[in-house]
Amino acid sequence: MLHDRLLIRPVEEKGERRSSAGLVIPDTVKMGTRLTWGEVCGAGTSARHVKSGDRVLFNPEEQLEVEIHGELYVIMRERDIHAMANEDPEYGTGLYL
């Protein structure tokens, strides 16, 4: 990857979801614009805060899709990432906004 570009593999959410009130929302329901989780597979040399293997939250509307070896990836700038998840937080929620 060049400059601050990231190669991200989107994590597909399959199956039913539950609302905070406990209602079941089937996977066929079209939700409004939702942010999507993905795993960074490659980062350019100018990417300062994100590295390969990180889980990031991004807007699916701001993406450029590319297919590599039959698998779908997303290319975007580091500044378009909304949050980064930490699997092993020392304090807080583990989300960096």
| pLDDT tens over the chain, length 97 residues | 788 889 999 887 666 667 677 777 776 666 656 788 899 999 988 888 888 888 898 887 777 888 889 888 999 998 888 888 866 656 555 555 4
- Given this model, what pLDDT does residue 31 score? 60
First to last CA, the chain: 23
- Given this model, what pLDDT does residue 40 score? 92
| Cβ–Cβ < 8 Å for 56, 40 | yes
- Given this model, what pLDDT does residue 47 score? 86
- Given this model, what pLDDT does residue 91 score? 58
Helices (H) and strands (E) in the chain, counts: 0, 9
